[in-house]
Amino acid sequence: MSREQSVNIRAVSRNRAEQVGYYRFLSNENVRVSELIKSASDHCQQQVSGRHVLAISDSSELNLQAQARHLRTEGLGVVGNNRDVGFFIHPTLVADAESGFPLGLSTIQLWHRELERPDKHQRRYPQLPIEEKESYKWLLAAERSQPSLVGGGVKCVTYIGDRESDIYEEWVRVPDAHTHLLVRACRDRQLQDSSTMLYETLSQQPCQGTYAVTVMADSRTGRSAREAWLAVRLAPLTIRRPKKVSAQDYPDSVALYAIEAKEVTPPEGESPIHWRLLTTHPVNTLEQAWPVIQWYGWRWRIEQLFATLKRVGLDLESTRLESVQAIERLSILALMAAVRILQLKEGRDDETLPASVTFSAPQQHCLADLAPTLQGRTRKQQNPYTQGSLAWAAWLIARLGGWSGYRSQSPPGIRTLSQRLKKFEAVFEGWSLAQKTFMCT
pLDDT in tens, the chain (441 residues): 444 445 555 555 555 565 566 667 777 777 889 999 999 999 899 999 999 999 999 999 999 998 888 888 777 889 988 889 999 999 999 999 999 999 999 999 999 888 877 676 666 777 788 888 899 999 999 999 999 999 999 999 999 999 999 999 999 999 999 999 999 999 999 999 889 999 999 999 999 999 898 888 887 777 888 899 999 999 999 999 988 887 677 899 999 999 999 999 999 888 899 999 999 999 999 999 999 999 999 999 999 999 999 877 788 888 888 888 889 999 998 999 899 889 998 888 888 888 988 888 899 999 999 999 888 788 888 899 999 999 999 999 888 866 777 777 777 888 778 878 877 877 887 788 787 655 444
Tell how far CA 211 is from the center of its chain: 24
Contact by Cβ (8 Å): 105, 94: yes
* Residue 238 DSSP SS3: strand
In a domain, 243, yes or no: yes
> Which positions ≥6 away from 180 have C-beta within 8 Å?
156, 157, 158, 159, 279, 280, 281
- Which CATH number does the domain housing residue 113 bear? 3.90.350.10
- The residue range of the domain holding 361 is 347-440
- Residues 158 and 260 occupy one common structural domain: yes
**Residue 339 counted as domain residue:** no
b/e map 256-273, b = 16+ CB within 10 Å = bbbbbbbbeebeeeeeeb
Residue 287 belongs to some domain of the structure: yes
**In this structure, are 110 and 223 located in the same domain?**
yes
Claim to verify: residue 303 and residue 212 sit in the same structural domain: yes
Q: What is the CATH number of the domain that holds 400?
A: 1.10.740
Q: Is residue 238 part of a domain?
A: yes
* 3-state secondary structure at position 140: helix
Q: How many domains does the chain have?
A: 2
Query: Does residue 175 share a domain with residue 70?
Result: yes
pTM to 2 decimal places:
0.87
